[in-house]
Amino acid sequence: MGTPIKPYEDGAAKKAQVARMFDNIAHRYDFLNHFFSLGIDKLWRRKAIRKMLARQPHEVLDVATGTADFAIGTARMDRDIQVIGVDISAGMLDIGRKKIRKAQQEGRVELVLADGEALPFEDDRFDAFTVAFGVRNFEHLEAGLKEMLRTLKPGGHGYILEFSKPKWFPMKQLFWLYFRYIMPTLGKWFSKDASAYTYLPESVKAFPEGDAMRDILLDCGYAGCTMYPLTGGIATLYVVVKA
């Protein structure tokens, strides 16, 4: 995939830089996330959760859980489900735990500081996994995808939400105008970390999508992958299955 896109220009590994970046912006992350997406990201997560819950999983792994939106949303929609969220940013997890208490989901959602490329769980444990806008931040994409596959039960499904690039006028032009100019400027004002919101469009631009992403998932060992473009191609939901 070439040289990894990193948030900062120092010599640290991408993984360390991503953890530092999210620690830096954790205090404003939820506000900015929903603000920049106009709340549409919540609809994308609900769509993924509905598809997942139709298969009645009991234990779900949420990778790159951040402040636990996906994990909490899943628990709220199914009272019998257990969710474990993992992330490499302690700052994001601290905020996630506060949100779990506020949502009264303690005991049903557990957050663990862990690397998505080296998950601390046994093989074939989870009925399903979710990851929203997180695989793009892996330092080694294939390693992370294979780890999620390893921990998934045979017949289990994974639900990967990730940004993609609109192809048609005028969505394509509006998307890149927003991502390249408006978002970095507002992100700098609100979060005080300009690099974080410059990294976002650059990482989206460099990241594989559509058929290329499906090929990577199949090469990593998934038995199937169905793609669902969302909101004119701004994002894509990849639903994968383990044989």
pLDDT-based confidence at residue 13 (cuts at 50, 70, 90): very high
Contact 168, 51 (CB under 8 A): no
Taking residues 15-41, report their average pLDDT.
87
Distance CA 193, CA 159 (A): 30
Chain mean pLDDT for the chain: 92
Select from 126, 170, 176, 133 the least CA-distant residue to 152: 126
Residue 37 pLDDT: 78
Question: Kind and range of the H or E element at 235?
Answer: strand 235-241
Domain 14-241 belongs in CATH node 3.20.20.150: no
Query: Best-predicted range by mean pLDDT among 30-44, 51-65, 190-204?
Result: 51-65
Strand, coil or helix: what is 212? Answer: helix
Domain ranges of the chain: 14-241
> How many whole angstroms from its chain centre is CA 198?
18
Taking residues 208-213, report their average pLDDT.
96
pLDDT-based confidence at residue 49 (cuts at 50, 70, 90): very high
Taking residues 49-63, report their average pLDDT.
98
User: Is the pLDDT at 1 greater than 60, yes or no?
Assistant: no
Please give the model's pTM, rounded to 2 decimal places: 0.93
Put the strands of the sheet holding 152-163 in their side by side order.
Answer: 109-113, 82-87, 59-63, 126-132, 152-163, 235-241, 224-230
**Lowest mean pLDDT segment, chosen from 77-81, 118-122, 138-142, 173-177:** 173-177
Residue 2 pLDDT: 59
User: Is the pLDDT at 8 greater than 60, yes or no?
Assistant: yes
Residue 57 pLDDT: 98
Q: What is the pLDDT of residues 147-159, one digit of tens each?
A: 999 999 999 999 9
User: Is the pLDDT at 192 greater than 80, yes or no?
Assistant: no
Select from 242, 228, 241 the least CA-distant residue to 45: 228
